[in-house]
Amino acid sequence: MSEKQTALAQLLPFAKIGSVLAFIGGALATFNHFAGYSYLKGRLEGMGLGLREIEISQQEITFQTTLFLRDFHQSTLKDTSSLLGMGLWPTVFFILIGGVFVAMMFPKGQKQVSENSSEKPDSNDKLRKMPNWLKRINEFFKPAYPYLTPVYSFLKRSSAYLSLFTIGFYGLVLVFVTFLSYLAGGLSMAYEYGLKRGQSDIASDVCVSIDMKEKKTGRLAGCSTIYGNGSKEFIGRVIHKSNKLTVMVTNTESFILDDKGNFLACSPIINPSKTADEHKQNNCLVR
């Protein structure tokens, strides 16, 4: 081997590591952009402002992704708490079921093939060359082979290859549809969490009197005040703000203002338990 080939062989592991890191970095960047943008769009939809196209900076996208991951983490903690809240024995039962499944998928006993073995290749060479995950699947379904072999022999002897092809085709379609279902669910997850957050933003008053506060100790942040076109005053909570638009929710409406303070979208907040006369006047109808 020449010096050049030796140098290339030494650099090959680093090239592989670099390729893996580049792939992971690209995947994380794509996830960050898609999740952050989808979360904010879902939040605006939950507030009744529609699926409006918005331009946000990369820093804001990363921040929105952080909000999505926070909501996802809190939801996961709730699910875990509800599982543990079932009681000791149901929890132990589910843990045992999971342990049995892991033990079946990752068997401890695996035969080692000697590297210096002088035996000639036999019919098990293909099995030895299988990836580890494929070997585990093979071991998992191995007890069913004696029952499946006669069926396969019958189909082969009967020349029923068309039936076998049809079964395999529909099985492949089922796997493909299942994969797309999980993929769609994963891609829409950020939007769904944003939608729930937007609905919770308008579920109760964002600004209440200090006399109505249950907690009478410490210090709390009050509501924000912004001014629209014609020095119109809005008091509420700012959801998102950039150089081109401002998203805000008050006790009576949620809205989007442009950089000049004009309404781009406005959605009044309706309480079904109140009559029309009991609702406070909202700014969506004021021009």
Which residues 6+ apart lie within 8 Å of 82 measured at CB?
none
Which residues 6+ apart lie within 8 Å of 268 measured at CB?
252, 253, 282, 284, 285
Using pLDDT thresholds of 50, 70 and 90, give the confidence band for residue 114: very low
In the prediction, which pLDDT does 238 show? 92
DSSP state, residue 87: -
Q: Cα angle vertex 179, ends 177, 180, to 5°?
A: 65
Q: Which two tokens stand for residue 28?
A: 């994380």
74 or 42: which leads in pLDDT = 42
Sequence ranges of the domains in the chain:
3-108+127-191, 221-285
258 or 78: which leads in pLDDT = 258
In the prediction, which pLDDT does 80 show? 64
* Mean pLDDT, range 238-263, rounded to an integer: 89
CB-count burial class (<10 Å; 0-12, 13-18, 19+) for 194 = buried
pLDDT at 243 over 90: no
How far are the Cα atoms of 42, 60, 77, 81, 99 from residue 84, in angstroms, in the given order? 31, 36, 10, 5, 17
Rounded to whole angstroms, the Cα distance separating 204 from 215 reads 17
72 or 286: which leads in pLDDT = 72
In the prediction, which pLDDT does 113 show? 43
pLDDT at 183 over 80: no
**Alpha carbon 78 to its chain's center:** 16
pLDDT at 46 over 70: yes
Of 33-37, 98-102, 184-188, the one with minimum mean pLDDT is 98-102
88 or 29: which leads in pLDDT = 29
